[in-house]
Structure 1
Amino acid sequence: MPEVDYRLNALVDARLGDNTNLADLARVAALNRATLIQYRDKTSSTREMIEQARAIGAGLAGTGVPFVVNDRVDVALAAGAAGVHLGRDDMDAATARSIMGDAAIIGLTVKNEEDAETAIASPIDYACIGGVYETLSKHNPDPPLGLEGFARLRATLLAAKPNLPVGAIAGINAQRAADVVAVGVDGVAVISTIFAAVGPAAATGELRACEEKALAEASR
């Protein structure tokens, strides 16, 4: 299975496309030190998703930054994406791995202890825990985990899979990057922190800089 650089997972959500081109946003993030791009679309048709995913892939050409598709193994395969990010209601990771192969990137959302146990038993390349804070990016019926809840789930994962990259999602901005790094995060997944900013390029660079500074301090 592939090694995943999860330091900055930039999520391009279909709703952003109302105002701008998703492929352009993905490329801007990649050129400004995002390490993984995730395409998320909860409303478009399968045909539209495949077209959009292919456009994102073309936009990332030459950057060296892989992209995954949220939820949809079929769209990821049809568009030639590097992999897929799965939630609790999606195809299970073992089936996705059997379909996509060992070279595919497969990530999994973890929201509670049950999800953590599923992740431990699954052939995944990274886990993303959340939501850590409140978010406006999507409706989340579960209360925020907070840093303590994040740390608890991370410890459960790493006790069984010590080399698994573990990221954090929801409500994370440049100011909070140091806080999540302090409890052991390998990286963060964001939408609005980058793409709702006046300058997405500068916002991406600022977030990475804050994260890298916190990671350097944590390793001392």
Structure 2
Amino acid sequence: MASAKPAVDYSIYLVTGRDLLPPGKDYLESLEESLQGGVTVVQIREKTADTGEFLEIARASQVVCRKYNVPILINDRIDIALAIGADGVHIGQSDMPFSVARRLLPASAIIGVTCNTPEHVAQAVRDGADYVGIGPAWTTQTKKNLSPVVGVRGLKELLAPLGTSGVKSVAIGGVKSTNALHCLHGAVSTIGHTLDGLAVVSDIVASPQPRDAAKRLAVIVQAFKSTRFNSFSLSHSTCVNFRELYTPEIIKASVGKLLNAIRTHAPLIHQITNTVVTTQSANATLALGASPIMANAPEEMADISKIEGALLINMGTVQALDGMLEAGKHANLNRNPVVIDPVGVGASQYRKECADALLNTFQATVIKGNAGELATLAKSDEVLSKGVDSVGSGFADPATFVLNLARRERCVVVLTGATDWISDGRVVVRLSNGHPLLAQITGSGCLVGTCVASFCAGASLVAESREPARELAHGDMLTAAIGGVLALTVASEFAAAREDVKGSGTFLGALIDELGALTPEKIAQAAKVEVL
């Protein structure tokens, strides 16, 4: 083996699998094309080959990898690694113990470890591993006896034990170009530790064009690493600086611009919502100036995602989970904002499982819910959820709660109630508008989700016109969430003040009227905004 441990770029970590090659595709040809596409490290995995065959494959693979100066690792087989002078090995939890592998291999050898639990990661750090492969992130058919899927949200828990050790990490299990960005963006520990790369098998090996497949992944990883999309800083100083960009006056002016953008362009708001509020949600969308479409069939999500301005997924009546999953995936692929309203998520185990499936399958732009719903997502017992309602005194510190949940979920979080709290993980905004009559009509919380989705579509339109020049993933969507909440709560105050409103029945119609009559000036005049 080499005398010095090589520096490894783990960005695109290819795990070979000859059984996955498409018909007519030669293994070495596929390997070389994948390296040309951007693969940065290769692990040779041969679970069924005998020693002689494995050795021959490893030697031939090494020749190709050396041509591109890409490190080569051997899965499990220390003897094969020693025989060819590989750069290192990768071992699983049921393979040779790390201490034995370390003793047998030269000090220059890289050793990586598969880790499926935080305890596995902590042990790998103590052992002195160079990197860990954490997951499985998604279901995969390339490995038998797979450990339980941890999901994207579980990856961040596996990153936590890395601390400041310097041990590198790659996500494993079902990673492909269609979920790579969600994986990178969602898997960030509480101290900001991000993945160093993605381990990929079938998305490259099974492709007839492995060069193109590898390139797609490489572009995604490089873009993530080179932009502020990755730098979702949790430091106090960054939060203070970011707050300076969000004064109440700037927020109100920006919300007015978004409302004008909605009225000018009438974006299509795709809503998979509960059956109780479909009509009023559609009417609220129209009143704001956007256009509603209520569609939940999985088969049409690819087409609708190409024309939608934003997607709202409301879990009030979970009858179209497959449609929700497909809609979210395609919205992410088309970079459309996704608003999730986990209505009644604490009411049943099934709803909890559905929420986990949604949040692990695609990246939310905004999560909006009441105290009970968000407490369920955060696995907090501060607030209890009874159906779609919250019971109990609420959060002792709602500002810190929404800040931390936004950091954990890597999105904007909206906590609705008598006072509304909104955060993107760097700044918290408190809104104090609204009227008690909102609590007396069915679906007022769902209407907030509709308004937020409409304003997110407006933010996308403003971003596309390069005005203002803010970061779409955070700045504009924070303003959009604020705008959506203000639209409904400010309109409720104007509606309640009307002489023709006698109670909840007349209030609902007046509320839709006042949404339609909103102007930037009305919002600026009435909005009660505090930046904390």
Normalised to the residue count of structure 1, the TM-score between the two structures is 0.92
62-71 or 10-19: which moved more?
10-19
> How far apart are the structure 2 equivalents of 1:149 and 1:187?
16
Q: 1:190 aligned to 2:200?
A: yes
Secondary structure of 1:60's match? helix
Shift of 1:62: 2.0
State the one-letter code of the partner of 2:169: V
8 Å CA contact 2:74–2:89 kept in 1: the answer is yes
Unmatched runs of 5 consecutive residues or more in structure 2: 188-193, 233-532
The root-mean-square deviation of aligned C-alpha atoms, in Å, is 1.8
Inter-partner Cα distance in structure 2 for 1:181 and 1:9: 14
Distance 1:139 1:74 in 2: 23
Comparing 53-62 with 14-23, which one deviates more in the overlay? Answer: 14-23
Letter in 2 for 1:188: L
Q: State the secondary structure of the residue aligned to 1:211.
A: helix
Report the equivalent of 1:213. Answer: 223
Kept in 2, the 8 Å contact 1:76–1:83? The answer is: yes
After TM superposition, the structure 1 = structure 2 runs for residues 31-70 of structure 1, keeping only pairs within 5 Å, are 31-70=36-75
Matched, 1:15 2:12: no
2:77 maps to which of 72, 75, 80: 72
Which of 96, 101, 111 aligns to 1:96? It is 101
Aligned to 1:111: 116
SS at match of 2:16: strand
Quote the Cα distance in structure 2 between the aligned partners of 1:96 and 1:113. 22
**Structure 1 CA distance, aligned partners of 2:8 and 2:136?**
21
Aligned counterpart in structure 2 of residue 169 of structure 1, from 172, 176, 179: 172
Cα distance, 1:29 vs. partner? 1.6
Amino acid in the other structure paired with 2:151: G
What's the CA shift for 1:18?
8.2
- The worse-fitting range, judged by mean Cα deviation, of 180-189 and 24-33 is 24-33
CA-CA distance at 1:125 after TM superposition:
1.0
Identity %: 32
Q: How far apart are 1:192 and its partner, in Å? A: 0.8
Once residues 29 and 88 of structure 2 are traced to their aligned partners in structure 1, the CA distance between those partners, rounded to angstroms, is: 20
Q: Contact (CA 8 Å) 1:28, 1:201: kept in 2 or not? A: yes
Secondary structure of the corresponding residue to residue 172 of structure 1: coil
Gapped runs of 5+ residues in structure 1? none
CA contact (8 A) 2:8 2:71 kept: no
Residues 66 and 2 (structure 1 numbering): CA distance in 2 closer, same or farther, change over 3 Å?
closer
The structure that is helix-richer by fraction is 2
How many pairs does the alignment contain? 218
Q: What secondary structure is seen at the aligned counterpart in 1 of 2:182? A: helix
Shift in CA distance, 105/59, structure 1 to aligned 2, threshold 3 Å = same
Quick check: 1:134 aligned with 2:144? no
Q: How far off its partner does 1:118 sit? A: 2.1
Paired AA for residue 25 in structure 1:
S
Aligned letter for 2:173? A
SS at structure 2 position matched to 1:206: helix
Bigger Rg, structure 1 or 2: 2
From 120, 125, 131, give the equivalent of 2:125: 120
Question: Which residue number in structure 1 is paired with residue 521 of structure 2?
Answer: none
Matched, 1:181 2:184: yes
**Structure 1 residue identity aligned to 2:59:** R
Describe the SS at the equivalent of 1:106. strand
SS at 1:9 equivalent? strand
Counterpart AA for 1:8: I
Equivalence for 1:27: 32
Query: What is the CA-CA distance between 1:171 and the residue it aligns to?
Result: 1.3
Spell out the pairing of 1:150-165 with structure 2 (5 A cutoff).
150-156=155-161, 158-159=162-163, 161=165, 163-165=166-168
TM-score, normalised via structure 2 length: 0.39
**C-alpha separation between the residues in 2 aligned to 1:2 and 1:92?**
23
Could you tell me whether the CA contact under 8 Å between 2:74 and 2:81 is conserved in 1? yes
Greater relative contact order (Cα < 8 A, sep 6+): 1
Task: Write the letter of the residue equivalent to 2:180.
Answer: A
Could you tell me which residue of structure 1 aligns to residue 153 of structure 2? 148
Aligned equivalents of 2:86, 2:22: Cα separation in 1: 23
Provide the rounded CA distance (Å) in 2 between the counterparts of 1:208 and 1:153.
23
